């Protein structure tokens, strides 16, 4: 019932805005069109970190590697290139939302994103939003959210871009992108591939990483058509397919492989007038994986989910006030040989209000209610405010209530799905202070997160593993960060940036730290440019983590610090190319990210980027 | 209880000391560091073995790793079986590996890796090991028993099954394979070791949990009772009924004419002569989590051993009771304790 009303309401709103748009005067649009506009408009009081296209290009194509070196998020990687999940602000893997052009792409099956299935090269920016975001982004945005953006400017120049890299363990990375404009139609087509034998010698052990080879490919398209100065039609498309073998601890273990095929297609229509902007997003997402549990026997199991998303956003701006409504409807249908037939409808409405009270002071609040057939959904809210004490100092606070729905696996797994689960909820508060001076940006954020009804898989009295709403977890911590840009002379510049995260993540029944959540994470980067040369030094630290819930001090994965080095030179006359040499883990350090899953030692890469 | 125990220990020690001073020659020499005690198998992650000495004066964790430095037992160690030459075979189902050690010293003497595919349980008849393998979890059609010559450690043959294989036990002449796992399935296959073929398939009740042999009779605990099957005629003699409130009971053991079985966090006992199984708990123990209870269970020489795997992500613990239901000893062990073996 509710769904139908929602759809009707959405359609009505569309018509209204369209009618309005024709009579209102023309408004100039931003030159860069960001599908996920809420990122820029509604972030009062929350810590946010922007990673530019330029910064993305300085890393390899693996999203895990990039985020580890740019943010304090901890990644639990089951061996290099294998399954990679995030622990953001001390939360579990399914409590970080990943958004692709504003649409949540966490797996409907597991609730999480495997960060080693996503490639960075075709993205135009990545934004990391710390803390709760369910009010705008729905289920899963508890620890934080990671936003993968693909933008197209209003004016596009014809360009071919070609990147290729070759490195240790027979690792190839290739990207080709082409963009052009024909009158009001702009587009960018890109394909990217990353593959590796991944057969690294394991430092300090007399063996090689076996059965670790992987390949991941992605085809992307962004098309923008300016119907008029105030009506933009956009189309986003992503097709990702990969094959990964899962590495062995011993050569006698069964060899396994994991194939994934994901498609994401979205059409979007933005209509603007003087005070009103409306946006309709229609998306169709599919995910499919096949797990071969023994390659010799060629036995496998497959699961797939198709999700339809309809989102309508209506923004009203008047002087110092912004008011926005977001209507969202999602239908997901899953099937597979390990899954009872699964279907879910979720509809939600958000209301966002923002006001610039004075030049120094603004605030926003949001309200959201989701409904679906299976659960009582909690009522969500958030409040954020920022106050500029002086030109340099500002204070911010944010509080929100967020939630996560049980996943398809949690509910419908044939041998243990639990249909009686309730959503996880989390109350989060954070406060921070920013300092900005010429070239210098400092911020300090403290957060506190109270998570209830956390879902965990445990064996029941018959020994069958089933998900239960068992845990109450409190996470809190501090996140200082620093960035300093210094123009030394006309042809010399330097940048230094550093992030640190101190995170306590406590199971309330035992007062123990959650497993695989380090107390300390840190990274730092120094980049120095001179003429056409650039030099980069990157440092990454992950503190020790417990691998047992009793916090047994003998059962830990030890801390590690990695140092990477990068040297690049640009050749503007040679097809605007840049040649770079990169060394990861230059001290060839032996380390593990997960117990018994050793990571590679020193890895060298040579990379060439041209554009013409 | 504890005071009583200390006194008992002191007394025992005095006697032992006295003995060793005066009558050295009469004391059997210990066969190794891990003689006269219980081995607790901890599944892992990476598996480990805990040794508890019979006088409870020693609890040694990770004994395999401490004797054989740099070695490990592989992922998810499922069970141990022994041969007549005091060798122990430790099965890792996650690594397709059987590690062979001297049972009293835990020195590694070899390993078996060929023709294993998710090995589960094993037993020895006439110098040959019979090991059940479940292979792919997505089908039972590829399950098999590998027959391994223990002199050469070569696979002698593979016996193919089209049903799941789990526990394997022997009365010395035949082998009996439980055709159910994780509470699903029923039936028992009989292997004739002289031909290494399946000679018969015995029916049992559904949701077969556990099998055990006592005095030429095979007992099979399932959802609604315990089937007693005569090993000579291979006919069902009788079915003892299981009260529905403890349907799902597991861990059938028989000792001195008494049937023992567990349900949730309780141990039950019924004399073999009874036709209806008792649903009155005989021992109940506290488990912080209500899950992972009775992950290991054994009855041996008037003592009842039970293991709790807690949340499978922290150390499990073991409790030992006497036949009156009194707690005799308890200790923490490794990750996921799933079985007891006696040296």
Residue pair A430/A468 in contact by the 8 Å Cβ criterion: no
Compute the distance between CA of residue B137 and CA of residue B160 in angstroms, rounded to an integer: 16
| Among the partner residues B96, B293, B315, nearest to A548 by beta-carbon distance | B315
Q: Is A588 left (phi over 0), alpha (psi -120 to 50) or beta?
A: left
Q: Which of A550, A551, A557, A595 to mutate to test the interface with B (most CBs of B within 10 A)?
A: A550
Number of Cβ within a 10 Å radius of residue B124: 19
The predicted structure's pLDDT at residue A601: 93
Question: What chain A residue is nearest to B265 in terms of C-alpha separation?
Answer: A461
Q: What is the mean pLDDT of residues A583-595?
A: 92
Task: Check: CB of residue B149 under 8 Å from CB of residue B105.
Answer: no
The predicted model gives A283-312 an average pLDDT of 92
CA–CA min distance B21, chain A (Å): 40
Q: Distance between terminal CA atoms of chain A?
A: 55
Of the two residues A176 and B16, the one the predictor is more confident about is A176
Other CB atoms within 10 A of residue A412 CB: 23
Q: Please provide the DSSP assignment of A411-473 as one string.
A: HHBTTT--TT---EEEEEEEEEEEEEETTEEEEEEEEEEEEEEEEEEEE-TTS-EEEEEEEEE
CB A207 within 8 A of CB A249: no
**A407-436 residue pLDDT tens:** 888 888 776 778 788 899 999 999 999 999
Contacts of A365 (CB under 8 A, 6+ apart): A352, A353, A381, A382, A383, A384
pLDDT single digits (tens) B76-98: 999 999 999 999 999 999 999 99
Cis check: omega of the bond before B264, within 30 degrees of 0: no
Nearest CA in chain A to B95: A253
Mean pLDDT check: name the lowest of A152-161, A475-484, A562-571.
A152-161
Q: Determine whether the interchain pair A293/B137 forms a contact, defined as Cβ–Cβ distance below 8 Å.
A: yes
Mean pLDDT, range B180-192, rounded to an integer: 93
- Residue A335 has what pLDDT? 87
Around Cβ B28, how many Cβ atoms within 10 Å? 7
Chain pair A-B, CB pairs under 8 angstroms: 79
**What tens digit of pLDDT does each residue of A473-482 get?**
999 999 999 9
- Place A462 in a pLDDT band, splitting at 50, 70 and 90: low
The pLDDT value recorded for residue A458 is 64
Q: Which of A79, A249, A250, A415 to mutate to test the interface with B (most CBs of B within 10 A)?
A: A250
CA angle at residue A84 from A458 to A431, to 5 degrees? 85
Residues of chain A positioned with their CB less than 8 A from the CB of B139: 299
- What's the mean per-residue pLDDT of chain A? 89
Whole-angstrom CA distances from B21 to B13, B15, B24, B27 are: 12, 10, 6, 10
Closest CA to A237 of A274, A183, A282: A282
- Does pLDDT of A179 surpass 90? yes
pLDDT, position A32: 65
How close B183 comes to chain A (CA, Å)? 8
pLDDT at B4 over 90: no
Distance from the B224 Cα atom to the nearest Cα atom in chain A, whole angstroms: 15
Chain A residues near residue B333 by CB distance under 8 angstroms? none
Question: CA of B222 to nearest chain A CA: how many angstroms apart?
Answer: 13
Give the nearest chain A residue to B97 (CA atoms): A252
With cut-offs at 50, 70 and 90, classify the pLDDT of residue A26.
very low
The residues of B whose Cβ lies within 8 A of any Cβ of A are: 45-46, 74-75, 94-97, 113, 116-118, 135-139, 142, 182-183, 248, 250, 264, 289-293, 309-315, 335
Contact A252 B314 (CB under 8 A): no
Say whether B84 sits in a helix, a strand or coil.
coil
Asked if the model's pLDDT at residue B132 lies above 60, the reply is yes
* Whole-prediction pTM: 0.86
**Residue B17 above 70 pLDDT?**
no
The residue with greater pLDDT, A417 or B158, is: B158
Q: Residue A186 has which token pair?
A: 């702009």
Question: For A370-414, what is each residue's pLDDT tens digit?
Answer: 998 777 888 999 999 999 999 999 999 999 999 999 888 888 877
Q: Of the candidates A300, A461, A549, which has its C-beta nearest B264's C-beta?
A: A461
Nearest in space to B296 (alpha carbons), one of B1, B38, B35:
B38
The reported pLDDT for the residue numbered B27 is 63
With CB atoms and an 8 Å threshold, state whether B290 touches A461. yes
How far, in Å, CA of A87 to CA of A596, rounded? 19
Could you give the percent of chain B with pLDDT greater than 90?
A: 83
- For residue A83 the two structure tokens come to 């399954």
Q: Identify the pLDDT of residue B272.
A: 95
What tokens appear for A459 in the block?
């064996």
Pairing of strands A96-100, A144-149: parallel
Among B111, B287, B291, B294, most A C-beta atoms within 10 A, so best to mutate, is B291
Query: What average pLDDT does this structure show over A97-119?
Result: 93
Instruction: Give the list of residues 6+ apart from residue B18 with CB closer than 8 angstroms, or none.
Output: none
Q: How confident is the model over A185-227, as pLDDT tens digits?
A: 999 999 999 999 999 998 778 889 999 999 999 999 999 999 9
Confidence check: pLDDT of A170 > 80: yes
> What are the angstrom distances between the C-alpha of A554 and each of A497, A546, A612, B211, B288?
34, 9, 56, 38, 22
Chain A residues inside the 8 Å CB shell of B142: 297, 299
Interface test with A, best of B95, B314, B334, B338 (most A CBs within 10 A): B314
Give the closest-approach CA distance of B315 to chain A in angstroms: 7
Of the two residues B143 and A110, the one the predictor is more confident about is B143
Q: Which residues of A550-586 are buried (b: 16+ CB within 10 A; e: fewer)?
A: bbbeebbbeebebbbebebebeeeeeebbebebbbbb
Would you give the DSSP letter of residue B104? T
Can you tell me the distance from the alpha carbon of A38 to that of A243, in angstroms, rounded to the nearest whole number?
34
When mean pLDDT is compared across A16-20, A235-239, B247-251, the lowest value belongs to A16-20
Q: Quick check: A548 and B290 CB within 8 A?
A: no
User: What pLDDT does B340 receive?
Assistant: 98
pLDDT at A586: 95
d(CA A99, CA A106): 8
- pLDDT over threshold 90, residue A312: yes
CB within 8 Å: A252 and B97: yes
Q: What is the pLDDT of residue A5?
A: 44
Q: A211 and A245 in contact (C-beta within 8 Å)?
A: yes
User: CA quadruple A49, A55, A60, A61: dihedral positive or negative?
Assistant: positive
Q: Tens of pLDDT along A505-546?
A: 999 988 999 889 999 999 999 999 999 999 999 999 999 999
Taking residue B318's Cβ as centre, other Cβ atoms within 10 Å add up to 22
Which of A302, A462, A469 to mutate to test binding with chain B, by most B CBs within 10 Å of its CB?
Answer: A462
DSSP state for residue B290 in the 8-state scheme: S
Decide if A252 and B75 are in contact by the 8 Å CB cutoff.
no
Closest CA of chain B from A292, distance in Å = 10
Q: Looking at the partner chain, which of B45, B74, B248 has a beta carbon nearest the beta carbon of A462?
A: B248
The answer to whether the CB of A54 falls within 8 A of the CB of A529 is no
CA–CA distance, A134 with A132 (Å, rounded to integer): 6
Query: Measuring CA to CA, which residue among B277, B322, B320 is closest to residue B59?
Result: B320
Parallel, antiparallel or unpaired: strands B337-342 and B37-42? antiparallel
B304-337 confidence digits (pLDDT tens): 999 999 888 889 999 999 999 999 999 999 999 9
Q: For residue B139, what are the CA distances in angstroms to A213, A605, B122, B136, B162? A: 26, 43, 21, 6, 9
Residues in chain A: 612
Sequential DSSP letters for A513-576: EPTT--SEEEEEEEEEEETTEEEEEEEEEE--EESSTT--TTSEEPPEEEEEEEEEEEETTTTT
Pairing between strand B315-322 and B303-308? antiparallel
pLDDT digits (tens, 9 = 90+) for B243-288: 999 999 999 999 999 999 999 899 999 999 999 999 999 999 988 7
In terms of C-beta density within 10 A (0-12 exposed, 13-18 middle, 19 or more buried), how is residue A291 classed? middle
Which domains are assigned to chain A? 3-611 (2.40.170.20)
Contact residues on chain B for A550, CB-CB shorter than 8 A: 310, 314-315
Q: What pLDDT score was predicted for residue A465?
A: 63
Question: How confident is the prediction for chain B on average, in pLDDT?
Answer: 90
* Cβ-defined contact of B314 to A548 (cutoff 8 Å): yes
Q: Which of A253, A301, A462 sits opposite B138 (nearest CB)?
A: A301
Token representation of residue B316:
């499990």
Cβ–Cβ under 8 Å, residues B278 and B269: yes
CA distances from A254 to A146, A212, A296, A496 (A): 34, 13, 8, 46
pLDDT at A596: 87
Measured CA to CA, the distance from residue B90 to residue B341 in angstroms comes to 11
Tokens 């008849």, residue located:
B125
């Amino acid at each position: 019932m509710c769904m139908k009303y929602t759809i009707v309401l959405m359609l009505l709103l569309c018509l209204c805005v369209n009618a309005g748009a024709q009579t209102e005067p023309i408004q100039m649009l931003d030159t860069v069109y960001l599908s996920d506009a809420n990122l820029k408009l509604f972030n009062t009081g929350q810590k946010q970190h922007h990673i530019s296209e330029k910064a993305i290009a300085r890393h390899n194509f693996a999203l895990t590697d990039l985020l580890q070196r740019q943010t304090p998020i901890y990644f639990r990687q089951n061996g290099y290139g294998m399954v990679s999940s995030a622990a953001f602000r001390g939360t579990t893997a399914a409590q970080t939302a990943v958004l692709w052009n504003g649409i949540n792409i966490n797996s409907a099956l597991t609730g999480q994103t495997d960060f080693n299935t996503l490639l960075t090269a075709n993205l135009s920016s990545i934004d990391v939003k710390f803390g709760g975001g369910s009010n705008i982004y729905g289920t899963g945005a508890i620890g934080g959210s990671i936003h993968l953006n693909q933008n197209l400017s209003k004016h596009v120049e014809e360009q071919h871009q070609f990147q290729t890299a070759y490195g240790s363990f027979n690792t190839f990375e290739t990207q080709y992108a082409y963009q052009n404009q024909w009158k009001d139609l702009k587009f960018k087509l890109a394909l990217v591939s990353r593959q590796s034998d991944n057969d690294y010698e394991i430092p300090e052990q007399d063996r090689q990483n076996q059965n670790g080879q992987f390949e991941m490919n992605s085809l992307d398209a962004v098309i923008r058509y300016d119907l008029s100065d105030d009506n933009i039609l956009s189309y986003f498309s992503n097709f990702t397919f990969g094959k990964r073998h899962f590495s062995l601890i011993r050569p006698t273990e069964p060899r396994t492989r994991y194939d994934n095929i994901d498609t994401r297609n979205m059409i979007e229509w933005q209509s603007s007038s003087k005070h009103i902007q409306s946006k309709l997003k229609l998306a169709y997402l599919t995910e499919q994986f096949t797990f071969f549990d023994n390659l010799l026997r060629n036995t496998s199991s497959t699961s797939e989910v198709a999700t339809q998303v309809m989102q309508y956003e209506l923004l009203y701006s008047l002087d110092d006030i912004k008011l926005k409504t977001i209507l969202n409807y999602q239908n997901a249908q899953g099937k597979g040989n390990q899954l009872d037939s699964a279907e879910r409808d979720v509809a939600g409405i958000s209301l966002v209000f923002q006001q610039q009270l004075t030049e120094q002071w603004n605030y926003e609040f949001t309200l959201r209610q989701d409904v679906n057939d299976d659960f009582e959904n909690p009522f969500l809210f958030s409040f954020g405010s920022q106050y500029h004490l002086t030109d340099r100092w500002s204070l911010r606070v944010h509080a929100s209530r967020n939630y996560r729905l049980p996943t398809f696996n949690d509910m419908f797994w044939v041998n243990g799905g639990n249909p009686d689960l309730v959503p996880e909820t989390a109350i989060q508060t954070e406060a921070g202070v920013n300092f900005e001076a010429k070239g210098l940006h400092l911020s300090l954020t403290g957060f506190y997160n109270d998570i209830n009804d956390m879902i965990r898989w445990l064996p029941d009295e018959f020994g069958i593993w089933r998900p239960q709403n068992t845990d109450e977890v409190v996470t809190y911590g501090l996140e200082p960060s620093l960035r300093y840009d210094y123009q030394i002379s006309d042809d010399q510049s330097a940048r230094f940036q550093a992030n640190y995260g101190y995170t306590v993540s406590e199971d309330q029944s035992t007062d123990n730290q959650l497993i695989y959540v380090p107390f300390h994470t840190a990274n730092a980067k120094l980049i120095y440019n001179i003429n056409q040369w650039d030099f980069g030094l990157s440092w990454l630290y992950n503190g020790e983590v417990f691998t047992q819930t009793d916090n047994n001090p003998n059962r830990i994965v030890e801390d590690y610090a990695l140092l990477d080095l990068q040297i690049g030179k640009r050749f503007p006359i040679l097809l605007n190319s840049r040649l770079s040499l990169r060394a990861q883990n230059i001290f060839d350090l032996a380390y593990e990210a997960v117990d018994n899953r050793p990571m590679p030692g020193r890895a060298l890469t040579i990379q060439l980027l041209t554009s013409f | 209880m504890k005071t009583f125990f200390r006194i008992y220990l002191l007394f025992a020690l005095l006697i032992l000391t006295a003995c060793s001073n005066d009558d050295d020659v009469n004391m059997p020499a210990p066969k190794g560091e891990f003689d006269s005690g219980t081995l607790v198998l901890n599944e892992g992650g990476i598996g480990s073995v805990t040794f508890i000495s019979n006088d409870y004066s020693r609890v040694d964790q990770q004994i395999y790793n401490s004797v054989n430095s740099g070695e490990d037992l592989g992922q998810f160690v499922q069970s141990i079986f022994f041969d007549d030459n005091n060798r122990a075979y430790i099965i890792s189902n996650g690594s397709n590996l059987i590690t062979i050690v001297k049972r009293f010293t835990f020195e590694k003497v070899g390993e078996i890796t060929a023709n294993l595919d998710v090995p589960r349980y094993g037993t020895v008849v006439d110098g040959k090991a019979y090991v059940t393998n479940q292979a792919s979890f997505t089908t039972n059609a590829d399950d098999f028993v590998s027959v391994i010559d223990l002199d050469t450690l070569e696979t002698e043959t593979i016996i193919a099954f089209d049903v799941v294989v789990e526990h394997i036990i022997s009365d010395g002449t035949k082998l009996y394979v439980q055709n159910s796992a994780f509470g699903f399935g029923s039936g028992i296959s009989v292997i004739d070791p002289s031909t290494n073929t399946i000679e018969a398939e015995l029916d049992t009740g559904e949701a077969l949990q556990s099998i055990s042999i006592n005095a030429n009779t095979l007992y099979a605990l399932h959802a609604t009772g315990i089937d007693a099957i005569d090993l000579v005629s291979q006919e069902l003699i009788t079915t003892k009924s299981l009260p529905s409130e403890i349907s799902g009971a597991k861990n059938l053991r028989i000792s001195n004419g008494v049937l023992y079985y567990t349900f949730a966090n309780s141990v039950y006992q019924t004399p073999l002569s009874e036709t209806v199984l008792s649903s009155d708990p005989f021992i109940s123990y506290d488990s912080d989590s209500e899950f992972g209870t009775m992950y290991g269970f054994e009855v041996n020489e008037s003592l009842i051993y039970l293991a709790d795997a807690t949340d499978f992500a922290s150390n499990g613990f073991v409790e030992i009771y006497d036949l009156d239901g009194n707690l005799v000893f308890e200790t923490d062990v490794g990750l996921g304790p799933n079985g007891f073996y006696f040296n």
